[in-house]
Amino acid sequence: IMKKLLYLRDHQLKEYIEKIFNGYRETVADAKNVLDKHSLGTAHNKVIHLISLYEGITITTLLRKLKVTKQSLNRVLNDLMEIKAIEYKRDEIDTRVKHVYLTEQGNKIFEEIFAAQKKRIYDAFLSSESSDVISFDKVLNKIINEKL
């Protein structure tokens, strides 16, 4: 298999990129009904997901992880504040730093979105060998330049 990978052609790489696009599209589509119900979009979904994953995440860390402008993030955070999905708490040591948390309402929205998305991922993992899941995780981390 490695010999085959060493000689990947552009066409094969394009097919992998298409699969990444399609996987993302389908995973986002799974959550669309929930997002629509709350008048939210994919940007809101990403922010809610990160806040749920990193409870108390700072604005600076959100900006770094999302790679968006302050203006774009503020628009999304303001929308989420408006529907009472998030709350801010100032850092106890450095009061200039704000931490973001999901409220009870925010957690409900996240759980609805996650329930819609996790079935596809869970089913794919469940029907795969454990070594395939580990390899998939390693490859994804390399694609997104994260440390293994």
Provide the residue-wise pLDDT of the chain in tens; the chain has 148 residues. 555 666 678 888 899 999 999 999 999 999 999 999 999 999 999 999 999 999 999 999 999 999 999 999 999 999 999 999 999 999 999 999 999 999 999 999 999 999 999 999 999 999 999 999 999 999 988 888 865 4
- Closest of 80, 21, 7 to residue 49, by C-alpha: 80
Q: Which two tokens stand for residue 102?
A: 């999901």
> Are the C-beta atoms of residues 28 and 45 closer than 8 Å to each other?
yes
> Are the C-beta atoms of residues 35 and 45 closer than 8 Å to each other?
yes
Q: Which two tokens stand for residue 85?
A: 């999905």
> Are the C-beta atoms of residues 74 and 81 closer than 8 Å to each other?
no
Model confidence, pTM: 0.84
- Closest of 46, 68, 69, 59 to residue 90, by C-alpha: 59
